[in-house]
Amino acid sequence: IHCSLFTEEFKMHHNQEEQSVNQMSAQPEPALHGDSNSDPLTDQQPPAYSKVEFKRHAVTDDYKITSQVLGLGINGKVLECYCKKTGEKCALKILYDTLKARREVELHCRVSGGPHIVRILSLYENMHQGKKCLLIIMECMEGGELFSRIQARGTRPSQREVGHKASEIMHDIGMAIEFLHHMDIAHRDVKPENLLYTTKDSNATLTLTDFGFAKETTLHNSLQTPATLPTMLPLKCLGQRNMTNHVTCGPWALCGFPPFYSNTGQAISPGMKQRIRLGQYEFPNPEWADVSEEAKQLIVQLLKTDPNERMTIGQFMNHPWISQSMVVPPTPLHTSRVLTEDKELWDDVKEEMTSALATMRVDYDQVKIKDLDTSNNPLLNKRRQRPVPGGAEKGGE
């Protein structure tokens, strides 16, 4: 019912705005992603991404919106829809028109041609329930969410298959994050619900979506140089820098639970923060017993508490377990068993990750404010350069 009302409303709005619709449709179609033949990471020039353009006629003119829910997020349902012209199955995400929503759309568009990133196909500005909304039409990721797939496997898949999968998953996430860093964007919400497979096939591509918490990192940080490694990373807020996004997903993907886990039921308990800061964690058996030393060493490098020691995204991509992910020895994993033995555990893990990421983002912002005050405040710098009134010209300490 909700969906059909929704469709109706778009139609009504369209009729009311016939005038502007005609004007808008006379404009050229926006090209939202880069040239599909170019490789954004190796090409000398970064791909040319067009600026965000919204169509203002009703989305229902171009797409048939179904009541099929592809997934639920904090902003509501993502619905299956079909392009009327081509019949292509797509996904529709609806956001109320706010500054935050515009930033999400803008950043997602900017990276929408990149490797292992969900593509945006079209954007609309429509009225819904009396409110202006932004509508994002994306490619439909028919393979669903990352962990649903691992979970759905249920009983033991072949060890070779799982071993390959674990390193390939990390490789694909790394590709997406490397590209984002290259574009000076930190995603800040890399978690299994935001990692979707293109199709249900075993050779499907894993792609990253949901730029609702993404941030540009050009102002006071650059994600490129290890020395200034900003710190989009969740863990960086706890006293660390570098390689933020990987840390959250990697260890979880490997064994089914995070290396840091709260004993108190809080997202991040004070004790847990302390353990993360001090780098106190272990790889308990039996879950980690069969994970290769190489993979464990990689995790150790990602969780280094000293930012200068922590791996950069480039080093991560060059690590043999990642760069040779197609041929590394298979790692038998317990993720699927851990998650299927106790279904509630999975919901807990998801919840834990979501709150942990939220806490880390808040911490990060607070850390940044401090940094700016102390290290990069232009007014402060100016003051420091001014001669001290009444003081000696030189060496007036």
CA 64 – CA 392 distance, rounded (Å): 77
Beta-strand pair 215-216/89-96: unpaired
Distances (CA, A) of 60 to 57, 166, 180, 340: 9, 40, 32, 40
Measured distance CA(291)–CA(305) in Å, rounded: 22
- Taking CB under 6 A as the binding criterion, the range among 36-44, 64-72, 304-312, 383-391 that sits at the site for ligand ADP is 64-72
Nearest-angstrom CA–CA distance, 7 and 67 = 10
Measure the CA–CA gap between 166 and 150, rounded to whole angstroms: 10
Q: How many residues bind ligand ADP (CB under 6 A)?
A: 21
Contact between 74 and ligand ADP per CB under 6 A: yes
Amino acid type, 87: G
DSSP annotation of 49: P
Residue whose CB is less far from ligand ADP, 196 or 272 = 196
**Binding residue (CB under 6 A) for ligand ADP from 58, 59, 78, 302:** 78
- Nearer to ligand ADP (CB atom), residue 138 or residue 173: 138
CA angle 271–287–199, rounded 5-degree value: 105
Structure tokens at 20: 């502007």
Catalytic residue among 189, 210, 342, 348: 189
Stretch that binds ligand ADP, among 16-24, 69-77, 219-227, 334-342 (CB under 6 A): 69-77
Could you confirm whether 189 is annotated as catalytic?
Answer: yes
Q: Interface residues for ligand ADP in 202-221 (CB under 6 A)?
A: 209-210, 212
Residue 370 is classified by DSSP as H
Which is nearer to ligand ADP, 106 or 287 (by Cβ)? 106
Triad 167, 212, 125: Cα angle to 5°: 130
Nearer to ligand ADP, 131 or 386 (CB): 131
Which residues within the stretch 154-213 sit at the binding site for ligand ADP (CB under 6 A)?
Answer: 193-194, 196, 209-210, 212
Distance, in Å, from the CA atom of 234 to the CA atom of 95, rounded to the nearest integer, reads 25
> In angstroms, rounded to a whole number, what is the distance separating the alpha carbons of residues 312 and 308?
9
Comparing CB distances to ligand ADP, the nearer of 71 and 163 is 71
Instruction: Give the binding range for ligand ADP (CB under 6 A) out of 74-82, 238-246, 296-304, 380-388.
Output: 74-82
- Part in contact with ligand ADP (CB under 6 A); list of ranges 71-79, 268-276, 358-366, 380-388: 71-79
Cis ω for the linkage preceding 389 (within 30 of 0): no
Q: Between residue 37 and residue 56, which ones bind ligand ADP under the rule CB under 6 A?
A: none
CB nearer to ligand ADP: pick between 146 and 322:
146
What is the pattern of x (binds ligand ADP, CB under 6 A) and - over residues 118-147? x-------------------xxxx---x--
Establish if 313 lies at the interface with ligand ADP (CB under 6 A).
no
**CB 144 → ligand ADP: shortest distance, Å?**
7
User: What are the two backbone dihedrals, phi and then psi, of residue 76, each rounded to the nearest 5 degrees?
Assistant: 115, -160
Answer for the pair 33, 113: CB distance below 8 angstroms, yes or no.
yes
Point out which residues bind ligand ADP (CB under 6 A). 70-75, 78, 91, 93, 118, 138-141, 145, 193-194, 196, 209-210, 212
Active-site residues: which are they? 189
